[in-house]
Amino acid sequence: MLLAVGWLGRSWLLGAEPIPETSSYELDLAQVRQAAAELPGQKPLRVNEELVAEASMPRAAVFAGESFDPHPMVHRAFQVVWEDSTAVIDAAMGLAMAEEMAAASGGETTFHADAYDRVQAGLEGAEAIVFTHEHQDHIDGVAKGNASVLASRVRFNAAQLANTEALDLVGMPEALRTQGMPLAARRYAPVAPGVVAIEAAGHTPGNQMIYVGLRDGRELLFVGDTAWHMRQIRELIYRPRLVTDFILGEDRAATMAEIRVLHELDKSGEVKLVVSHDADQRQRLFDEGWIGPRFE
């Protein structure tokens, strides 16, 4: 009986759970495009990235029911570019936070100090800085930046600002919490011409996706950590309960509903999904010309 209970408990904590066939989450691409055209000005020209850190975690933490072999993870920041201005999506993290996360996960981290320095310069030069969500590997970089310069550029949404535990974890300066211009409380909130923040609470209370419509007609959707790898979206594989319920504190049902919608959107081919930590997809995005490898 004890063995059976132990097996059932392990299966419940680490086993795979099917993504529901239907979804309660709504992502209306027509409304997103309409919001992207609300602010005056032309759409952006291109998107760049900086790889700030490389790490790993057990595959079983990413793909429920699989092995405990190491799975590579990348930590990045993204830059949206117009002729005379830029915006930044996520700010990655500093060395101390990267080492702290590596120690907590039992893995190792390779930190790229030159890339981190370019991110800091990119943050100071950006007109807007937005975040897919409020976890430390996405906001620590801005918390460690020049608060007096960045305060007017940071655009948290209301739920991100309300998550004081996450902000306190990275020592987010008071100026960045109070002096910035919060995103509009809208399901599809314009950030800049061609750029829209889309509400997607689940992975965190302030989780959102960032849509970028480029001038050449291509469209990207930065999904943050709604998924950690494109395979989760394409094959409908989710993180195990041990990770979502007991480590991350996710709204599991909400995130699975979002994955179902992203699965269908990916199949449509209308928008290129960008998954923050997917090391495999990263190279494909370079090869296909979707993203450049360095901030400008």
Tens digit of pLDDT for each residue in 185-213?
A: 999 999 999 999 999 999 999 999 999 99
Q: How many percent of the chain have pLDDT more than 70?
A: 97
d(CA 226, CA 232): 10
d(CA 214, CA 7): 50
Q: Which CATH number fits domain 18-287: 3.40.50.2300, 1.10.3720.10, 3.60.15.10, 3.30.1600.10?
A: 3.60.15.10
Give the chain's length: 296
The residues near 54 (Cβ < 8 Å, ≥ 6 apart) are 72, 73, 74, 75, 109, 110, 112, 279
pLDDT exceeds 90 at position 12: no
pLDDT exceeds 50 at position 218: yes
- Band of pLDDT at residue 3, cut at 50, 70 and 90: low
d(CA 231, CA 269): 16
- Band of pLDDT at residue 7, cut at 50, 70 and 90: very low
pLDDT exceeds 50 at position 5: no
As beta bridge partners, residue 196 has 190, 211
Q: What is the pLDDT of residue 9?
A: 63
The residues near 287 (Cβ < 8 Å, ≥ 6 apart) are none
- How many helices, marked H, and strands, marked E, lie in the chain? 14, 10
Q: How high is the mean pLDDT of the chain?
A: 95
d(CA 239, CA 257): 13
Among 213, 225, 237, 234, smallest CA distance to 275 is for: 225
As beta bridge partners, residue 57 has 71
pTM of the model: 0.96
pLDDT exceeds 80 at position 271: yes
